[in-house]
Amino acid sequence: MSFASLNLAPEILRAVHEQGYTEPTPIQAQAIPAVLNRLDIMGCAQTGTGKTAGFTLPLLQLLVPFASTSTSPAKHPVRALVLTPTRELAAQVEESVRTYGKYLPLRTALLYGGVDIKPQIKSMQSGVEIVVATPGRLLDHLEQKSINLSQVQMLVLDEADRMLDMGFMPAITRILAALPPMRQNLLFSATFSDDIKKLANGFMRNPIMIEVARRNAPAELVTHQVYEVPALKKHALLAHLVKTRDMQQVLIFCRMKRDADKLARQLIRDGLSATAIHGDRSQSERSLALDEFKTGKVKLLVATDVAARGIDIDQLPFVINYEIPNTPEDYVHRIGRTGRAGSPGEAISLVSPEEMDYLTSIEKLLKREITRLPLPLLGGDRDTRSPRERESGTRPRGADPHSTTTPLSDEERRERSEQRRVREAKESGRTRRAPYQAGESVVPPRSALPPALPSAYPHFDFSKPYEPPSKDTHVEV
């Protein structure tokens, strides 16, 4: 099948061919005819399958009859609305619309938060047919009455699963209420959870299901690997892997924004070029970080799950889970950044003992066990092997031959010994404390009480029953 056989306008085909594409991907081959037939569709496809063009191309085709060179805003009402969960993904979709629609007199607006709303309002006042927006900023425009959605004919929810994860359901509900009931609805998601199906049932009309590849399945060209490593050793292991393997472009995932910033600073101190991207960064900072990562100026990009949505890089060789996600679906989202467009990729996860339950859930979803790799000797570790063992690469004497971890360093031994001492002291204190008998005073001896509080604080007599203060009592501190 070729794009020419999909009944697309010559202007659209010209733009497609200029991008070097001649044949549609599986998701495009199924979605484009369905959208052109005015059907509601639910599309399940992983990142890198050509999903975005799968809805932007037919969207443009359906708007060809409304293309106008008139300068009157009335000739350019909003006819198509695309909602995405993040600014990066919105920018990616808007770029796709502009790329494939550059030979059509159709106007596009990109609406997202974190930037001044006034230029966006001015753009809407001049009239646009296609709006790509994040839910929060679109609600801002609705509240300011700077956008009119009464003539929308097509609604697209892209990355719908992530929208739900980010708590956008109330915003989506309000937006749906502002749209005309007779419209075409397209929903795309990397996974089809029960929540997604419930959402679809609330606003779609007999949608057809389009699914490419196995549901919740990662890309086939991705190699999955796990290092079982104590949390305190993760940073050293990450730096070791990047340096010894000369990794040139690595997307690294953390769960929390503050952890992403902290890890990026640590990697920079290690002499590595790194930066972080997350929701607290301004739009200009996020755009700069992405540009530097794509062009190779920065080798390591530390990201949170939300910020990574919209990162679209062909032939990204490595994704490293510095902290594995607590939901297996997020693992699929993360590693979907590598192994794309026929290029192999590696997904490396650094898993601490506390995260093993999460790893088990991921393996259950993947229906296979992920390969465990032996932990290399890191800085601060002492090699206890004999010269012969060192030469042959065998494990230290007395070590478990099936273990995937190295012997503990002196620092780790001291830390674990201290943790064990504190734990045993607590347990010992609990066992020595006899239960109070009926009638026994619960007041501890004076020697066990803490030092007296400073005179600036009110005095409380713990030997007397508690009596709430009267309403007119006033205590100065």
Residue 207 CB contacts under 8 Å (≥ 6 apart), including other chains: 39, 40, 41, 42, 185, 187, 200
Give residue-wise pLDDT tens across range 390-416.
Answer: 444 444 444 443 343 444 455 555 555
Residues of the chain with pLDDT below 50 are: 214-216, 384-385, 389-408, 430-449, 452-462, 466, 473, 475-477
Enter the DSSP assignment of 277. Answer: E
Topology, domain 222-376: Rossmann fold (3.40.50)
What pLDDT shows up at residue 106? 96
Q: What is d(CA 474, CA 467) in angstroms, rounded to the nearest whole number?
A: 15
Tell me whether domains 3-211 and 222-376 share a fold.
Answer: yes
Q: What is d(CA 143, CA 59) in angstroms, rounded to the nearest whole number?
A: 27
Q: What is d(CA 12, CA 4) in angstroms, rounded to the nearest whole number?
A: 10
Instruction: Classify strands 108-111 and 345-351 as parallel, antiparallel or unpaired.
Output: unpaired
Helix ranges, 79-186 (H): 87-100, 118-126, 135-143, 160-165, 169-177
Q: What is d(CA 125, CA 361) in angstroms, rounded to the nearest whole number?
A: 50
What pLDDT shows up at residue 128? 96
Domain boundaries, the chain: 3-211, 222-376
What pLDDT shows up at residue 459? 46
Contact between residue 302 and residue 278 where contact means Cβ atoms under 8 Å apart: no
Instruction: Locate the DSSP E strands across 345-457.
Output: 345-351, 371-372
Give residue-wise pLDDT tens across range 300-346.
Answer: 999 987 766 667 777 789 999 999 988 787 888 788 788 766 678 89
Q: What is d(CA 223, CA 226) in angstroms, rounded to the nearest whole number?
A: 10
What pLDDT shows up at residue 273? 95
CA nearest neighbour of 144 among 173, 166, 170, 122: 122
What pLDDT shows up at residue 348? 96
Q: What is d(CA 466, CA 90) in angstroms, rounded to the nearest whole number?
A: 59
Q: What is d(CA 110, CA 95) in angstroms, rounded to the nearest whole number?
A: 9
Give residue-wise pLDDT tens across range 64-75.
Answer: 999 999 999 999
Query: Coil, strand or helix: which one is 300?
Result: strand
b/e code 12-41 from CB counts within 10 Å (16+ = b): bbebbeeeebeebbbbbbbbbbbbbeebbb
Domain 3-211: assigned CATH number: 3.40.50.300
Q: CA angle, corner 476, sides to 475 and 477, nearest 5?
A: 115
